[in-house]
Amino acid sequence: EATAVSPEGRISPGDLGIWKDEHIEKLKQITDFIHQHDSHAGIQLAHAGRKASHDIPWHGGKQIRSEADGGWKTLAPSAIPFIETEEAPIALDKAGIEKVKSDFKAAAARALKAGFDVIEIHGAHGYLVNEFYSPISNHRTDEYGGSFENRIRLLLEIINSVKEAWPAENPLFVRISATEWTEGGWTGDDSVALSKILKDKGVDLVDCSSGGNVATAKIPLKPGYQVEFAEKVKSEAGILTGAVGLITTPEQANDIIQAGQADIVLLAREMLRDPH
């Protein structure tokens, strides 16, 4: 599950967290249970950026604007809200960016102590990392904005920070939104260019999701609608990929692997709907 590296990085007050040492004990109960059944445990390290401070989904998921109601100030590359009617985030300054990097490093160290075998850095769905690499949400004029190289800088620096605490033999995944489905936004070709760099940085697999950073995007939902991006990144960047998105049957998942479109298939909602 997306696990917040800081309190301000939570999507909602109900999020799982790994921003303090007190979180390790309970997380280790989970990994111990998983290991007892001859399986491996992974954790997704996340910072929600401007999409933080929202109510839990089954209470409507609306932005919580005031501290009195349990909300907090959100952070982003630029002071641009996700939805016009929402309160604008605070643009991160240099000290704030350094804190984000150190929070990810500390979270990786805690994940190791808690017994996790795999880390996935959440760089998709309009959360903080995605907000930085997208030209739609990143209007900065410093070294973290403007060019492609500048906009991906935060993700690369987070990877460097995480690798300082995470053993090289343990898998490191990165989840990206491979397209924003929006004119002028991040594209599949951008994802290939980024993935080539991630491979050189020692990332083991790119988990290819999409969307989430543009509220008005028109996404052509259909079974396996994102598999093409996993296939494109795998073939053009030469890195292992994961396919996600409306994959709901074992036959469908098996076809993706047999066709060489991706190296793993990641199931989420279908496993919740039918854990058997």
Give catalytic residues, as residue numbers: 127
Q: How many CB atoms lie within 10 A of CB 132?
A: 27
Residue 119 CB partners (closer than 8 Å, separation 6+) = 42, 43, 44, 45, 108, 111, 162, 166, 170, 171, 172, 173
Q: Where are the alpha helices (DSSP H) in the chain?
A: 24-36, 94-113, 128-133, 148-151, 153-165, 188-200, 227-237, 250-258, 269-273
C-alpha to C-alpha distance for 173 and 49, rounded to whole angstroms = 20
Contact 224, 261 (CB under 8 A): no
- What's the token pair of residue 229? 């991006």
Contact 204, 254 (CB under 8 A): no
Within 13 A of 111's CA, how many CA atoms are on the CB side? 34
- What's the token pair of residue 51? 């999409």
Residue 110 CB partners (closer than 8 Å, separation 6+) = 18, 21, 23, 24, 27
